[in-house]
Amino acid sequence: MIATTAFAHAAKTSAINPATPAPARFAVRDGGIVDHWRNAAPVQFRGIGYSPYLRGESPVLHTPLPNDGRYATHLRQVLDLNANYLHVFPQRMPPAFFAALDAADLLYGQDMWVKQQADDFLDAATQADILAKIRATIDHTYAVGRPDRLVLFSIGDELNPRAIAQTDRLHPQVHDFTGKHLRVTGRTPTEIALAQLIDAAMEYELTRYGQRHLYCHTSFTHVGPLVRPDLDVPPASALLPDLADLVCLNVYTYARGVVTSPRGAVTGTSYQGYLDELTAITNKPIFITQVGFSTSPYEPKPWVPGFGGHRVADVPNKLRAVWQDIHTAKHHERIIGVAVFELHDEWWKSGDTLDDPQIRFDGDPEEWFGLYALDNKMRLIPKGAIADAVREIFGR
């Protein structure tokens, strides 16, 4: 059976070759995800975004992740939240993490950041460099990770809008691609670049390891897929992340594309309004790979209200409202997972200075998204009742 998505307003299509093997465990069926290890039972993913860097550690400074006991502690807390899935951002997690994953009996998805600010995503050298990193991540999954617990590989996350627009300007005639596993038509040049990478990743995994997992690209509402007047890219460059098995999208309540959406049919929020339209344009499963609220002391960008400055006491009800928006949206059965961003505050973001990992800046909302804060002994401390609210909604 060919998995397809058609967007009538732009004549965009995507299809997986029917000769391409389906994943062995988690696979698409009837618009949802099923677990073949559980008699093909439908799966709903209750996820937490996870990056285990603590104070003083930073991927920007190439700090290696220690192979220590933090993972067992963290994952016990994740399990206590009634979560069943971790959306993992570092691409070289150490053995202790995977041992803790086994102990907690959790699933995970592997996010892969690519050169999101590349000058040209279709440039041959850029594609080769990105593909080498993808292959290395796949190899790490089979050498150190847990292929049986892995749900998906996400190829790229939140591509830079300027890079998207530039790639599209450089290749105005590139709109179709037929690979060994994917066929897409009527697409933007950036979408073609992503399709090429996903196709090559699928082929590498199948050829080297004899099986494959689910594949997606994780995008964000600032660049599509729904065309809104406040997008960070021209309408013709709106990115539709339906290129492989499922749609992965970071959807924040205050984000561009969302705040300019019509009101939802049930709750009357623009968040639900966005989801009402999103579920109408695809028959593929949708995974909301990030949603959350930064508790930074203030909003550093008044022109982006909601990016930071959320009172800890207010966040629990905001999360409950998002959950209600999702589960009463039109065609909400197509939304097969939600990952709350993120487990704990990460002090290293956005990596602006050498001492950034040692300081949690009041004016950087990226450093305050955690359900938990860190104390002086690097222990995870609940922020008010935020974790309790996640435990409640995931337990429904």
109 forms bridges with which residues in the sheet? 87, 152
Cα–Cα–Cα angle for 102, 85, 207, nearest 5°? Answer: 75
Angle between helices 189-209 and 124-143 (to 10 degrees): 40
pLDDT single digits (tens) 349-384: 876 677 888 888 899 999 999 999 999 999 999 999
Pairwise CA distance, residues 237 & 170, whole Å: 12
pLDDT single digits (tens) 34-61: 999 999 999 999 999 999 999 999 998 8
Helix (H, G, I), strand (E, B) or coil at 5: strand
35 forms bridges with which residues in the sheet? 26, 41
Note down pLDDT in tens along the chain; length 396 residues: 233 333 334 589 999 999 999 999 999 999 999 999 999 999 999 999 999 999 999 998 888 899 999 999 999 999 999 999 999 999 999 999 999 999 999 999 999 988 767 899 999 999 999 999 999 999 999 999 999 999 999 999 999 999 999 999 999 999 999 999 999 999 999 999 999 999 999 999 999 999 999 999 999 999 999 999 999 999 999 999 999 999 999 999 999 999 999 999 999 999 999 999 999 999 999 999 999 999 999 999 988 899 999 999 999 999 999 999 999 999 999 999 999 999 999 999 876 677 888 888 899 999 999 999 999 999 999 999 999 999 999 999
What is the CATH topology of the domain spanning 4-394? TIM Barrel (3.20.20)
Q: Where are the domains of the chain?
A: 4-394
Alpha helices in the chain (DSSP H): 70-80, 95-104, 124-143, 161-170, 189-209, 270-278, 315-327, 386-394
The residues near 380 (Cβ < 8 Å, ≥ 6 apart) are 73, 74, 77, 343, 344, 372, 373, 374
Give me the residue label for tokens 């959320």. Answer: 310
Among candidate residues 186, 246, 182, the one with its CA nearest the CA of residue 215:
246
To the question of pTM greater than 0.75 for the whole model, the response is: yes
Q: How far is CA 321 from the centre of its chain?
A: 20
